[in-house]
Amino acid sequence: MCGILAAIGKNNPEQIRVLSKRMTHRGPDENGLVQLKDGSILSHERLSIIDLHTGIQPIPADNNETWMVHNGEIYNHQALRQELNNYPFKTKSDSEIIIALYKSYGYNFCNRLDGIFAFVIVDSDTFMAARDPIGVKPLYYGTDAEGKMYFSSEMKAISDQCIDMKAFPPGYYYTPQTGFVKYFKPEWENAFVAKKKANLNELRDALIKSTKKRLMTDVPLGVLLSGGLDSSLIASITKRLLPKGSELHSFSVGISADAPDLKAAQKVADFIGTKHHNVLFSVEEGIKAIKKIIWHLETYDVTTIRAATPMYFLSKYIKEAGIKVVLSGEGADEVFGGYLYFHNAPSAIEFQKELIQRVQNLSTADCLRADKSTMAHGLEARVPFLDKEFLNTAMQIRPEDKQPDRKSGKAEKYILRAAFDDKENPYLPDDVLWRQKEQFSDGIGYSWIDELKAFCESQITDEEFAKAKDLFPYNTPDTKEAFYFRRLFEEMYPEQHAIRTVKKWIPKWQESKDPSGRASSTHEQSIIRTQKKRKRA
């Protein structure tokens, strides 16, 4: 993992070096920079995970005229190396397989890669850039006033250099000759092809296989463990896959010892046998760090900022503990309809359409949060639920098998829970396996969101808020909390093209537009409040 920066065309190396250093948090181990004959520059801030000694980037091809920078992990690089056994590899790095494939097959090789990636290849008078199918790894691109192109892992490196900048679309590659080409075209992007009846054994095996791939590392590895279903399953699977007797560290975060997530996570850790760490931060610490967190996240989306704050503090602790790679549970709610608002889907086909849209938009939401809040401290997060093969299995299951139904007692993510409901050799305690969905920013302690909202409301006057549409005509904030985040964002990223990279996360099919799970009428706390009101009435 790392931060990459590519400046295409004649450029000043010292200027590019300064821009690249804006992302030094992504790659604290070492850096590299090369200028090619045409003046183009590739820069790389490296977090060493695979091939610690010879994997420094940029990486050249055999003729030293073609160079590449890559951010991500290629899990099938060993198999691809055997396929390209005549290629003169210079390193043991998983990244080098990308430039080897390019030299062997030209542009049409991205579907051969099994992993997560954002890369740029410069080859004499042309270049190629690409991003992984779901957008697990970030990438931005833009042009300056002279028409030169830039590509970067984070927009902070290039936003003020460009007159136009956008997020690079997931599942595409780009060359000057072809423009943007969509290489990732899964059948499941059509809502009407999801007709397979759920096969629980197949689903379980696919997730285990996906998790196993992500154990590839030459550095210490841990697991994020919120105590919810998704991270708990990944932690349990990981523990089983490691050699017997291996120590696995798990990490949870909350604002108090009695936070819902911390209690559930401790139960899981005791059950599966990890060395567990509870990390506490105060609401005051969280509020104080908000501006820095927005700088790292490069978004003003309320949901993302709420959830990224605890993840930011947790990542800092993990990195200081000597862990450089963690497995996490992002993506399961989008793949299986885990958010509570999915209970209100009007039909199976509308449910499926929303699943597809949520998965396609992950690069603007949970993937962005997971990458940037961990990489703020040079920590790599891996997400088994977003494995390409696993998605092919899970996204083709018919929606009626996934759709939750409170009336019949069918919980959200029912088939995922059922797939790992092994009575003889249980993966998780029953009360965790069947625990109701708790969004991360709620589960760390309900007072986090409540007090954050109250603080933001104290910072914005009614007079200021009344001018929201005039001040922010694009993505106009509809709450004082959103207004406060937007104001902080624009202090650091005032360019209109930066503002337009942000997509807001809004739940559907419910009266409240607050993204907190507690705003849903199906949340247990909401049901309890409703029952109390009826009794008083």
What positions carry a catalytic annotation?
A: 2
For residues 294 and 153, give the distance between their C-alpha atoms in angstroms, rounded to a whole number: 16
Neighbouring-strand partners of residue 254: 280
Q: Please work out, in degrees rounded to the nearest 5, the angle formed at the alpha carbon of residue 392 by the alpha carbons of 387 and 398.
A: 130
For the record, the structure tokens of 464 come out as 């200021």
For residues 209 and 219, give the distance between their C-alpha atoms in angstroms, rounded to a whole number: 21
> SS3 letters for 209-248?
HHHHHCCCCCCCEEEECCCCHHHHHHHHHHHHHCCCCCCC
| CB contact burial 268-290 (16+ within 10 A = b; e otherwise) | bbebbebebbbbbbebeebbebb
Backbone angles phi, psi at 31, to 5 degrees: -140, 160
Residue 482 CA, distance from chain mean position: 21
> Which of 94, 441, 431 has its CA nearest to residue 229?
431
Residue 490 CA, distance from chain mean position: 23
- Tally of CB atoms within 10 A around 501: 18
Q: Reduced to 3 states, what is the DSSP secondary structure of residue 88?
A: coil
Q: DSSP letter at 93?
A: -
Q: Are strands 115-123 and 66-74 parallel, antiparallel or unpaired?
A: antiparallel
Residue the block writes with tokens 């993840």? 311
